[in-house]
Amino acid sequence: MTSRDGYNWTPATGLTAGVPSIGVIHPPTNISSSEVLYDVIVVGAGYCGLTAARNAAAEGLKVLLLEGRDRIGGRSWSSNIDGYPFEMGGTWVHWGQSNTWREMTRYQMTSEVERSFDFSYGVNHYELNMGEKGYTMSHEKEDELLISALNKFTNIDGVYGRNTIPLPYSPFHTAAARDLDNLSAQDRINSITPSLSPQERAALESFVLLCSGATLATMSFHEFLHWWAMCGYTYAGCIDMLISWKFKRGQSSFAIRFFTEALATKRLSYAFNTPVAHIHDTGASVEVTTRAGVCYRAARLISTLPLNVLGDVSFDPPLSPGKRAAIATGHVNQCVKVHAEISNKHLRSWTGVAYPHNELMYAIGDGTTPAGNTHVVCFGGDNKHIDPEVDVEATKRAVSNMFAQQKETPQIERLVFHNWSKDEFAKGAWFFPPPGLVSSHLGDLRERHGNVLFANSDWALGWRSFIDGAIEEGTRVAYEVKTELAERERVRSSL
């Protein structure tokens, strides 16, 4: 099946909209009537919504899953082009992300992963292209450069953040951590600039921007430290947990397991291509009206809408002032992620940075396609934003600029991407907050609203913005709904 999401470009076909994915659900609905009273309606079929729907259905609840897209996965899904998966959003997994690994164990998928990096053959080096100057170095020297720069960046307490964020799942356990959320990454870099070499600064800034997909001035320094703490307070931990291991058959091969298990309970109804317009909590139940004007009812509702689109749905009664303030602020990640199939097998062991002059700033050799070409995944931030589908030639130039130190510019055989900034159900990539958002509104975002519960990786406690955080949140709210409805039934039966 082909999703309407995503783009594929080749010299032969030009740019085409929509890419194939095993995450596309057909038929798009199994609902025969809108007159059913459900136990819970789940809005959104990303990992959070899939987890909540599966857990609720497995616990015996009658569940309705509504999704605006034609597919599952939300901001984490994979295409399947000529038998090769290109990850359009969230990609990497690790046993240090305990919720994710628990589910991989559940579905017997712990051996279905492979490394992104392969330094066993080819050019086997790192390129740091700073515009007028460029450097080529071994991966060992790359690591030394980034370790030095990141240690200076994170060493706010003499122990690289360990005292400031000692309990990452309680990010504001210390007053010092809360104070840091008012600083931007630019503020922190300004304070350590005298200690940074030009190469360290370029490597550091591009790495930090890779995490945020924003600008140094608009991203929270504390949120980066939270990622750092979750990775064990080391650069090696960041590389291992954030960008090393991925599914051999793509993220959609994982997400479909959640959906299939929920469907097997015979208690899951679903409707894809069904955006929600209005949510009304009557006190006795929750009524959901779709954009098409169809109304569904349930005892509880779980909204898994991301922060940047939560304001597109109207709520009655209105949401709390704190939640509305968080929605008005939004998160800042407008990352551009472009996959390029390159006709040079030796670039499999290549990594590179082109910063600050290029629209794409960070890239790695991420696989070998069936044609024997190198798959390179490239990232750009909001500092030099591009819309790849608007100007493919500019996108090709940005990809080619990543290889400025190569003797010959590699030939681009294919581009694959999804424009998350223009995606109406995302309005940005993975969550990354501006200064002050999390310390001011994390509690507001997690707070329920009568019979409506809110769950999303955007406000997870641990791996916030990651697949693991989505599963964490889906597990939390499904348990809360199950417990409440079980207690309600116990009270009723005792009367």
Residues making up the annotated binding site for FAD are 276
CB atoms within 10 A of CB 487: 10
Residue 368, H or E segment: strand 362-368
Continuous H helices in 332-466: 392-401, 437-446
Q: How large is the greatest C-alpha to C-alpha distance in the chain, in angstroms?
A: 81
Angle between helix 185-192 and 221-230 (nearest 10):
90
**Unique residue bearing structure tokens 């479909």:** 256
389, 392, 118, 234: CA torsion to nearest 10: -60
Tokens of 44: 């959104």
Q: Which bin fits 252, alpha (ψ -120 to 50), beta or left (φ > 0)?
A: alpha
Tokens of 288: 């959901």
Query: Which residues are documented as binding site for substrate?
Result: 379
84: closest CA among 250, 246, 244, 245? 250
Tokens of 355: 């910063």
**Unique residue bearing structure tokens 């608007």:** 390
CB atoms within 10 A of CB 495: 4
Query: Which residues are documented as binding site?
Result: 276, 379
Cα–Cα distance for residue pair 243/231, rounded to 1 Å = 11
